[in-house]
């Protein structure tokens, strides 16, 4: 008997390469993440690059601490997570504001376009507001042709101006998830 599993109906898109290329060109050396289908292509590219280090997390707030440590050690870091993981980070995000650490996270959104899992809805609705309450600027990307410019602008805001920025990658950009039998 087969069990239903969630899949992403999208293939690799050029905008996913744009994300990796901007991070690479921007000098990002460390990328931490909780595994997520929306970030899978970037994660694979990071692990294949000998100049970058992919760090698997057990929970998203570890990535906030790693970002702080990376900055203190002279490296640029980016945290990849899903909107459902944002709630796990709230307490740790106080470190970013208190110590004025630069911070960049790319957040794949769930609970939006064609969502099949009702558990994703509440955090999706709260993600932007929660980030802003914690002093993090929020940029949203919904169109493939916006990705490169927004990620590049965020890198400048974070690593030149010392800001804290979250880029929300809309669920319609990432692609529709659906249940299939395996």
* Domain boundary assignment for the chain: 4-181
In CATH, which superfamily holds the domain spanning 4-181? Answer: Thiamin diphosphate (ThDP)-binding fold, Pyr/PP domains (3.40.50.970)
DSSP secondary structure letter of residue 120: G
In terms of DSSP H, where are the helices of 26-82?
40-48, 61-72
Digit-coded pLDDT (tens) for 1-59: 444 444 454 467 899 999 999 999 999 999 999 998 899 999 999 999 999 999 999 99
The answer to whether residue 128 scores a pLDDT higher than 70 is yes
Digit-coded pLDDT (tens) for 76-96: 999 999 998 999 999 999 999
Mean pLDDT across 89-109 = 95
Digit-coded pLDDT (tens) for 44-61: 999 999 999 999 999 999
- In 3D, which of 15, 3, 2 has the Cα closest to residue 172? 15
Give the list of residues 6+ apart from residue 168 with CB closer than 8 angstroms, or none.
83, 107, 109, 127, 128, 138, 139, 140, 141
SS3 state of residue 78? strand
Digit-coded pLDDT (tens) for 141-166: 999 999 999 999 999 999 999 999 99
- What gap in Å lies between CA 46 and CA 68, rounded to an integer? 20
For residue 55, list its beta bridge partners: 32
């Amino acid at each position: 008997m087969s069990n239903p599993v969630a899949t992403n109906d999208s293939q690799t898109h050029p905008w996913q390469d744009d994300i990796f290329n901007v991070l690479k060109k921007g000098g990002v050396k460390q990328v931490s993440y909780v595994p997520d289908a929306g970030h899978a292509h970037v994660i694979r590219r990071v692990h294949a690059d000998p100049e970058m280090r992919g760090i698997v997390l057990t929970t998203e707030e570890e990535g906030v601490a790693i970002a702080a440590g990376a900055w203190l050690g002279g490296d640029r870091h980016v945290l990849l997570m899903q909107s459902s993981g944002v709630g796990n980070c709230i307490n740790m995000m106080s470190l970013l504001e208190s110590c004025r650490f630069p911070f960049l996270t790319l957040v794949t959104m769930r609970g939006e376009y064609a969502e099949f899992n009702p558990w994703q809805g509440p955090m999706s609705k709260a993600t932007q507001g929660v980030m802003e309450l914690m002093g993090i600027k929020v940029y949203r990307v919904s169109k493939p042709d916006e990705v490169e410019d927004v990620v590049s602008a965020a890198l400048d805001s974070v690593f030149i101006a010392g800001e804290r920025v979250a880029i929300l990658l809309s669920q319609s950009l990432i692609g529709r998830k659906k249940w299939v039998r395996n």
